[in-house]
């Protein structure tokens, strides 16, 4: 949801900002803009609707020299995605420029007041009120003006502010939206996310809610909304530039699909020993409460909700207590019963999804035990939790989630096994069998990705299909939904995922020779039932693509195309079964010529409700 970047220091800001925006474009691409303090002491602003290339083409390498500067890439909330609504926005004097990620909830009432006081607005955005509000508070001290103005707003924000009277300063602030400060030598940065500034510094300060950062070439001072000065830890980033780059792949999506064997390996590190014993050290501090819980809710949105659904099946199967998936945006407004014996597990790659954060806050207020599973160290979600389990998957840049999904499922499998061990609900033997199966996943994932040439041919044959139906049962059901979502997101083709047994209760009416059925038919306790559902589809002349277990000789009687994946225990299989579906969605998208890494209308991190 919008990317922001800022630079203060001796270098020309424009190239640093434009490169930073390129790396943040996954956060939104409805418009892009920059503001730079020129040598003449004016603020130069250029902004263009559409992707960053519209701005860079327009600038054509001719952005003026100067510093400091701020830049923004937008995912529209208030106001159309046009030039006028693009950030940066200015105050009436034109001396102050501001960028913003988030939503100012009380912007309408503030705007009425500011207009009555004579302020002139040039956009329909909520953001512009911030520029004018800071202007009303400004008497020479920019940090103080920002602080006073922010005390009047409600909502979520990460902002970057610059002012012609402060040529050696940019001011950043955050509330419920991520913002980091990069500490360079004789220079400073603001950014929504690490990749934007990684080539300049590996030392960052992750700002906390209500922090206001005064970033100057000499260092950064942080005050809170009440004006008190605070010290924040400096975090050293261990990612390489390579991890934030495409590394020879045509798209980040494809790179991240192929990174999965390594991501799985990293995710397992320190959590499953060679004997197959699963132990998450992150859960040590809450062991007593974990022994006592009597129900589990696993919360997430989109892809994360499908990982959560796999987890709910596994907790019921392995731990024997009621467990269900909760869609974040629903749980907040119709919460299920929650008390001190409830475990709520929040799942979010970005750790910033507003729809997931809100029910976790609610769970915390009601005394539940809260564990979160996220990829981003220091993200907002980690502050809602009694314990945090990181995916350890490395940065996921592509908007469509692939390696984060697989590692979310893996962490949740480990959480379920950890619980089963603590509560002695599985025998030692079964615990080790599953632990060993997890340890073999990096190798099996690499093997599965070798299906790529077969999948590419299959995708080319299906590139013009209008509708797909995906089915699965048990842990295969969320995989069917994830396969359908990947296809929708990446290729804009209509696809729906159903519980296989539900097919005959309605969706079967959609099947015809032009509507393929994709069946998750890997070996498991209810394999025969899935095969029956596949047979029902074949009887209606639907072409069938099956994901099946290597060695299965029955399935090709019903399926025209079979993608054979290596055998794993059913409970572990989602990590492997989803891989061919990711590749299929990717190849269909490439064949159809869609914008694979940045699908239309989407954003990587959804920080609004
Ligand atoms: C995944 O491909 C999607 N783009 C989307 O469903 C995503 O998983 C969802 O918005 C949740 O994001 P999070 O994991 O960062 O909370």
Is the CB of residue 303 less than 8 Å from the CB of residue 482? yes
Is the CB of residue 501 less than 8 Å from the CB of residue 596? no
Residue 263 C-alpha to ligand 1 middle, in angstroms? 18
Residue 59 C-alpha to ligand 1 middle, in angstroms? 33
Residues 8-20, mean pLDDT to the nearest whole number: 97
The reply to whether the predicted model has a pTM over 0.85 is no
Q: Residue 402 CA: which ligand 1 atom is closest?
A: 2
Tens of pLDDT, residue by residue over 263-308, are 999 899 899 999 999 999 999 999 999 999 999 999 999 999 999 9
To test the ligand 1 pocket, which listed residue (176, 178, 256, 303) has its Cβ within 8 A of the most ligand atoms?
303
Residues 85-109, mean pLDDT to the nearest whole number: 95
Residue 304 C-alpha to ligand 1 middle, in angstroms? 6
Residue recorded with tokens 């509507």:
515
For residue 105, the tally of other CB atoms under 10 A from its CB is 12
Residue recorded with tokens 């809450």:
286
Find all residues with CB under 8 Å of 247, minimum gap 6, and list them.
255
State the angle between helix axes of 452-461 and 574-592 in degrees (0 to 180), rounded to the nearest 10.
50
| Residues forming the active site | 2, 604
Residue 570, pLDDT score: 96
* Pocket of ligand 1 contains residue 581 by CB under 6 Å: no
Residue 260 C-alpha to ligand 1 middle, in angstroms? 17
Q: Residue 178: pLDDT band by 50, 70, 90 thresholds? A: confident
Residues 53-58, mean pLDDT to the nearest whole number: 95
Residue 394, pLDDT score: 82
Q: Residue 76: pLDDT band by 50, 70, 90 thresholds? A: confident
Query: Which residue's CA is the closest to the ligand 1 atom numbered 4?
Result: 400
* Pocket of ligand 1 contains residue 302 by CB under 6 Å: yes
Please give the Cα distance from 132 to 184 (Å, whole number).
Answer: 31
Q: DSSP for 177-206?
A: S--EEEE-SS-EEEESSGGGTTTT-SEEEE
Residue 350 C-alpha to ligand 1 middle, in angstroms? 8
Q: Six-digit token pair at 393?
A: 């998957």
To test the ligand 1 pocket, which listed residue (301, 375, 497) has its Cβ within 8 A of the most ligand atoms?
301
Please give the Cα distance from 108 to 284 (Å, whole number).
Answer: 47
Q: Residue 353 CA: which ligand 1 atom is closest?
A: 16
* Pocket of ligand 1 contains residue 598 by CB under 6 Å: no
Q: In terms of Cα–Cα distance, which of 93, 99, 49 is closest to 72?
A: 99
* Pocket of ligand 1 contains residue 350 by CB under 6 Å: yes
Q: 474 — alpha (psi -120 to 50), left (phi > 0) or beta?
A: left
* Pocket of ligand 1 contains residue 348 by CB under 6 Å: yes
Please give the Cα distance from 319 to 379 (Å, whole number).
Answer: 29
* Pocket of ligand 1 contains residue 349 by CB under 6 Å: yes
Q: Six-digit token pair at 497?
A: 């995922």
Is the CB of residue 59 less than 8 Å from the CB of residue 45? no
Residue recorded with tokens 């001290």:
141
* Pocket of ligand 1 contains residue 282 by CB under 6 Å: no
To test the ligand 1 pocket, which listed residue (177, 257, 298, 304) has its Cβ within 8 A of the most ligand atoms?
304
Inform me whether the pLDDT recorded for 377 exceeds 80: no
Residue 489 C-alpha to ligand 1 middle, in angstroms? 11
Please give the Cα distance from 550 to 144 (Å, whole number).
Answer: 65
Range with lowest mean pLDDT among 26-30, 229-233, 537-541: 26-30
Bridging pattern class, strands 211-216 and 219-224: antiparallel
The dihedrals phi and psi of 406, each to the nearest 5 degrees, come to -60, -40
* Pocket of ligand 1 contains residue 380 by CB under 6 Å: no
Tens of pLDDT, residue by residue over 426-467, are 999 999 999 999 999 999 999 999 999 999 999 999 999 999
Is the CB of residue 223 less than 8 Å from the CB of residue 145? no
Tens of pLDDT, residue by residue over 209-224, are 999 999 999 999 999 9
Residues 364-382, mean pLDDT to the nearest whole number: 91
Tens of pLDDT, residue by residue over 134-172, are 999 999 999 999 999 999 999 889 999 999 999 999 999
Please give the Cα distance from 608 to 600 (Å, whole number).
Answer: 17
* Pocket of ligand 1 contains residue 406 by CB under 6 Å: no
Q: Residue 176: pLDDT band by 50, 70, 90 thresholds? A: confident
DSSP 73: E
Inform me whether the pLDDT recorded for 527 exceeds 80: yes
Q: DSSP for 429-481?
A: HHHHHHHHHHHTHHHHHHHHHTTHHHHHHHHHHTTT--EEEEEE-TTHHHHHH
The dihedrals phi and psi of 191, each to the nearest 5 degrees, come to -160, 150
Residue 343 C-alpha to ligand 1 middle, in angstroms? 22
Residue 608, pLDDT score: 75
First to last CA, the chain: 11
The dihedrals phi and psi of 571, each to the nearest 5 degrees, come to -65, -25
Bridging pattern class, strands 43-49 and 31-38: antiparallel
* Pocket of ligand 1 contains residue 4 by CB under 6 Å: no
Residues 183-204, mean pLDDT to the nearest whole number: 94
Q: What SS3 state is found at 246? A: coil
């Amino acid at each position: 949801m919008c990317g922001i970047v800022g630079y203060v220091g001796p270098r020309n800001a424009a190239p640093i900002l434009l490169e930073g925006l390129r790396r943040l474009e996954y956060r939104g691409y409805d418009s892009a803009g920059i503001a730079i303090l020129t040598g003449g002491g004016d603020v130069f602003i250029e902004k263009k609707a559409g992707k960053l290339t519209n701005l860079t083409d327009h600038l054509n390498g001719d952005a003026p020299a100067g510093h400091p500067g701020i830049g923004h890439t937008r995912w529209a909330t208030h106001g159309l995605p046009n030039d006028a609504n693009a950030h940066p926005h200015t105050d009436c004097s034109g001396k102050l420029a501001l960028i913003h990620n988030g939503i100012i909830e009380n912007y309408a009432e503030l705007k009425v007041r500011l207009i009555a006081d004579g302020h002139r607005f040039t956009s329909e955005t909520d953001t512009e009120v911030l520029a004018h509000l800071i202007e009303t508070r400004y008497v020479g001290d920019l940090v103080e003006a920002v602080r006073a103005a922010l005390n009047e707003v409600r909502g979520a924000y990460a902002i970057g502010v610059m002012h012609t009277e402060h040529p050696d300063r940019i001011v950043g602030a955050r509330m419920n939206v991520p913002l980091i400060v990069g500490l360079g030598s004789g220079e400073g940065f603001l950014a929504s996310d690490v990749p934007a500034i990684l080539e300049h510094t590996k030392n960052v300060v992750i700002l906390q809610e209500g922090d206001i950062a005064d970033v100057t070439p000499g260092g950064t001072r942080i005050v809170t909304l009440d004006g008190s000065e605070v010290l924040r830890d400096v975090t050293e980033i261990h990612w390489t530039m390579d991890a934030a780059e495409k590394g020879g792949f045509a798209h980040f999506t494809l790179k991240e699909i192929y990174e999965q064997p390594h991501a799985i390996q990293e995710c397992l590190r320190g959590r499953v020993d060679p004997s197959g014993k699963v132990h998450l050290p992150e859960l040590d501090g809450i062991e007593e409460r974990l022994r006592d819980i009597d129900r589990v809710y696993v919360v997430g949105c989109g892809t994360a909700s499908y990982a959560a659904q796999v987890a709910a099946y596994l907790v019921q199967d392995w731990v024997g207590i009621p467990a269900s998936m909760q869609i974040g945006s629903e749980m907040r407004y119709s919460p299920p019963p929650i008390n001190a014996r409830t475990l709520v597990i929040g799942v979010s790659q970005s750790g910033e999804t507003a729809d997931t954060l809100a029910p976790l806050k609610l769970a915390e207020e009601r005394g539940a035990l809260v564990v979160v599973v996220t990829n981003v160290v220091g993200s907002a979600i980690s502050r809602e939790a009694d314990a945090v389990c990181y995916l350890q998957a490395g940065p996921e840049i592509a908007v469509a989630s692939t390696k984060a999904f697989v590692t979310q499922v893996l962490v949740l499998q480990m959480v379920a096994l950890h619980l089963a061990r603590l509560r002695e609900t599985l025998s030692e033997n079964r615990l080790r069998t599953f632990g060993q199966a997890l340890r073999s996943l990096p190798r099996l994932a690499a093997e599965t990705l070798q299906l790529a040439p077969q999948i590419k041919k299959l995708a080319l044959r299906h590139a013009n299909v209008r509708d797909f139906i995906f089915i699965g049962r048990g842990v295969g059901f969320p995989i069917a939904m994830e396969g359908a979502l990947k296809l929708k997101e990446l290729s804009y083709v209509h696809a729906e995922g159903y519980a296989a047994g539900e097919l005959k209760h309605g969706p079967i009416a959609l099947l015809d020779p032009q509507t393929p059925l994709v069946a998750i038919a890997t070996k498991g306790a209810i394999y025969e039932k899935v095969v029956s559902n596949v047979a029902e589809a074949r009887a209606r002349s639907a072409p069938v693509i099956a994901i099946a277990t290597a060695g299965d000789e029955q399935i090709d009687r019903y399926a025209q195309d079979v993608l054979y994946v290596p055998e794993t225990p059913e409970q572990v299989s989602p990590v492997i079964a989803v891989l061919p579906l990711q590749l299929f969605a990717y190849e269909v998208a490439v064949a159809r010529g869609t914008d694979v890494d940045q699908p239309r209308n989407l954003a990587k991190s959804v920080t609004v409700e």
